[in-house]
Amino acid sequence: MVCCTIICMRILAMIPARMGSKRIVRKNVRYMAGQPLISYAMSLAAQSKAFDQIWVNSEEPVFGEIGKQFGIRYHARPAELANDIATNREFTYEFLKQHDCDFLVMVNSTSPVLRVQTIMHFVNFVKRDEYDTVLSVVSERAETFFKEQPLNFSLGEKRPSQALEPTQKVVWALTAWRRSTFLKLQESGECPVFGGRLSTFEIPKDEACDLDTEEDWRIAEGILLSRQRPFPQKYFESIQL
């Protein structure tokens, strides 16, 4: 019975999906490299087989329809939590109150470039049960300024980038919360988003993207395309070589 905590742990996935995105209009139903954006997160979560249940959390039943083909359940988000003012924290709380689990993993629809394997590794890490909140991050070793000052390098020396202290950027591709901690903090008026024992989890940099602008959209689409149809390696050979 010792390992029961791990075996019996109940982990849900929640994919938030609004219809009314602003900067990129209706992005969740817009086609990216051949399929609606939302379908990537749905398909990845389903393929990972890492979750006891997968839910799409939306005010718009069409996302329930799309989810059906992936075996995904539909959580009808109350209209008052689907406007521009409602926060992630509020709709996550509303969801958690209704669904019992040990951990909730939020899989973001704006991360179509995630890989199934990364979801599996992430959930295995969560299952080690050492943390209450796990944030996906991308680690980078590059000279970085913060508040106009060098953060991880000195102006008097150029070091190879491998020698620099990395920064870790939270990318929100995958986020795990322990349900009990989240509920307790939210109900006591504290912020549950980074609550309890906190850990980061590094994901590969080509599995994180922003989708705020048309440029972002094209980068993500480009990453997907280049995975689908990689170019053959070819080199320029001069007659002089």
Q: Which stretches of the chain bind a copy of itself, using CB under 8 A?
A: 26, 29-33, 36, 61-62, 65-66, 87-89, 135, 137, 140, 142-147, 150-152, 155-158, 165, 167-171, 190-191, 193-194, 198, 200, 204-206, 210, 215-216, 218-219, 221-227, 230-231, 233-238, 240-241
> Residue 6 or 145: which CB sits closer to a copy of itself?
145
Tallying the residues shown for the chain, one arrives at 241
> Residue 5 or 226: which CB sits closer to a copy of itself?
226
Phi then psi dihedrals of residue 15, to 5 deg: -110, 105
Tokens of 209: 């993207």
Q: Which helix (H) or strand (E) holds 174?
A: strand 167-178
> Residue 9 or 143: which CB sits closer to a copy of itself?
143
> Residue 100 or 215: which CB sits closer to a copy of itself?
215
Measured from the CB of residue 21, what is the shortest distance to a copy of itself in angstroms? 12
Cα–Cα distance for residue pair 205/108, rounded to 1 Å: 16
Q: How far is CA 158 from the centre of its chain?
A: 34
Measured from the CB of residue 97, what is the shortest distance to a copy of itself in angstroms? 19
**Nearest residue to 15 (alpha-carbon basis) of 58, 51, 49:** 58
Alpha-carbon dihedral sign for residues 39, 43, 44, 45: positive
Measured from the CB of residue 8, what is the shortest distance to a copy of itself in angstroms? 30
Measured from the CB of residue 36, what is the shortest distance to a copy of itself in angstroms? 4
Instruction: Give the three-state DSSP class for 78.
Output: coil
Measured from the CB of residue 14, what is the shortest distance to a copy of itself in angstroms? 16
> Residue 48 or 136: which CB sits closer to a copy of itself?
136
Q: Given phi > 0 = left and psi -120 to 50 = alpha, else beta, which region is 26?
A: left
Residue 14 β-bridge partners: 55, 106
> Residue 53 or 196: which CB sits closer to a copy of itself?
196
Measured from the CB of residue 9, what is the shortest distance to a copy of itself in angstroms? 25
Q: What is the DSSP letter of 81?
A: G
